[in-house]
Amino acid sequence: AQSVTQPDIHITVSEGASLELRCNYSYGATPYLFWYVQSPGQGLQLLLKYFSGDTLVQGIKGFEAEFKRSQSSFNLRKPSVHWSDAAEYFCAVGTQGGSEKLVFGKGTKLTVNP
C-alpha cells in the first residue's frame, strides 16, 4: 500500500532563512507526488506536483521540490522564508487506477520567527 512519511513534525526557522521539508514515499509504480499547504481554518492549497519529466518542480509562492527516485524522496524547499509561510505542509502521493485518491503524510508544522 502507498504511504508517505514526513519525519519532521514541527520545524522552526527564522524569516529569511532557507527551508527544506522532508518527504519520503512508498509506492510500487511511478508516483504522482504533491505538496499542499494548510493555513489555520483554511482548506488545503496545492503548492506543486510532480508527474514525470524534470525532477525539479517549481511551484507557487517561490517553492520548489526535487524528486529523487533512488531515495524515494520529494523534499520541498524555499530559499528565503517569509513570515506568511507559517502553516502546515502536507506531502501526498496520488494513486492511479480506481479512485485517483491522495495518500497524505501527517504533515510538518512550520513556525517562522521574526
Strands (E), 1-114: 3-5, 10-14, 19-21, 24-26, 32-38, 44-50, 56-58, 64-68, 73-78, 87-94, 102-104, 108-113
Among 25, 27, 35, 36, binds other proteins (CB under 8 A): 36
66 is an interface residue for other proteins by CB under 8 A: no
* Shorter beta-carbon distance to other proteins: residue 32 or 62: 32
86 is an interface residue for other proteins by CB under 8 A: no
Residues of this chain that interact with other proteins (CB under 8 A) are 4, 32, 36, 41-46, 49, 51, 90, 92, 94-96, 98-107
